[in-house]
A = this chain, B = another copy of it.
Amino acid sequence: MTTHHFSPAHYHTTIGWHEPVLHIGDGDTVITTTVDARGADATDKPITPRGNPQTGPFYIDGAEPGDTLAIHFDKIVPNRRYGWTRKMVAANVVDPDYTPELPWNTENNGLAQWRIDNDAGTATLEAADTSLNGFTLPLNPMLGCFGVGPKGGQAISCATSAEHGGNMDYNGYVTGTTAYFPVFAPGARFHLGDGHALQGDGEIVGTGIEISMDVQFTVRLLKGKQSFWPRGENADYIFTVGNARPLDQCVQHATTEMLRWLMTDYGFDKIGAHTFLGQCVEYDLGNIFDPAYTMVCKVKKSLL
């Protein structure tokens, strides 16, 4: 049960079976930082190439294919005063014939700046080119891209996601949430990055409020526990995550994984699992911007 303080010296823009930066044990806690999607750190200076650069990977001693890795996010907190978003809903999120109406060319290369106030818990838009200037939202800090070394020795771009996690851009991955991943690589090799001070469903402008983060997480290794897709848990829900295109396939992956989970861990017989899920399931849209989209299948713990 060691607590590790880790300062990253380099970053990866793929999630792969990379050389571990640190070996940690079951139950250990890591306190570290992440840069933003374009590689800028707490001082808002770019220190590494853009593309959701990842801190890590962390090697979890004893983790092997067939296990499940649990990551509890103890803390995700923005560590600088400014984040940024895009100002245009992505072309793939509107009707194709509506695309000429999009604001293709806006000031500041299409980026808006948001002022972050951790004490007040707010983000405030600073954009001179819209009357929305000054608009304020409550913070909901989350990580957009994180995961484990993928199947078969792959190294997968941090632009996208799959069974190993990756760029899911789901605004439910906040402080207090536990994320579960199937282990594919020896040591699991956990990577993390791409913090958002907050984000709407779907990440439809292609960004949340992109920002560098202070992160603390605690790992647990579930030996011999099999899973196929990312799962998660918070105070109120258990959930499963499907990453693919189109959204229909995301729903298929996530729903199949939830059916398995209900039957193996929650005591449902098959007809019960199906009948229950039919009337109790909830879905969230993670992202509809990245190469792979993300849908989340949720069940209230109070119903289990």
Query: Interface of A with B (CB < 8 Å)?
Result: 13-14, 16, 51, 85-104, 106, 112, 125, 127, 129-132, 135, 137, 151-157, 198-205, 207-209, 244-249, 251-253, 255-256, 259, 267-272, 274-285, 288, 293, 295, 303
Contacts and interface: CB of A to CB of B under 8 A. Distances in A.
Given A87-B274, A104-B100, A94 B14 contact: no
Contacts of A129: 271
26 contacts: A14-B154, A16-B155, A88-B274, A89-B259, A89-B274, A93-B255, A94-B252, A96-B252, A98-B259, A100-B100, A101-B270, A132-B271, A132-B272, A137-B303, A202-B281, A202-B283, A205-B277, A244-B245, A245-B246, A245-B248, A245-B249, A246-B247, A248-B248, A283-B285, A285-B285, A285-B295
A279 B200 contact: yes
A103 B132 CA distance: 33
Contact of A275 (B130, B203, B270, B274): B130
Contacts of A259: 89, 94, 98
Q: Is the interface of A mostly helix, strand, loop or mixed?
A: mixed
B157 A272 contact: no
Contacts of A271: 87, 103, 106, 127, 129-130, 132
A100 B103 contact: no
Contacts of A132: 268-269, 271-272, 275-276
A272 B131 contact: yes
A93 B251 contact: yes
Contact of A278 (B97, B100, B106, B207): B207
Contacts of A86: 278
Given A14-B152, A246-B247, A247-B246, A275 B127 contact: yes
B85 A91 contact: no
Given A246-B248, A280-B200, A95 B253 contact: yes
Given A131-B267, A200-B281, 13 more contacts: A13-B153, A14-B153, A87-B275, A87-B278, A89-B278, A95-B252, A96-B96, A130-B275, A132-B275, A199-B279, A208-B279, A246-B246, A248-B288
A249 B95 CA distance: 8
A24 B99 CA distance: 40
Contacts of A247: 246-248, 251
A163 to B, nearest CB: 10
A283 B170 CA distance: 12
A127 B273 CA distance: 13
A192 to B, nearest CB: 18
A254 B153 CA distance: 29
Nearest to A303: B137
Contacts of A93: 251-252, 255
Nearest to A132: B272
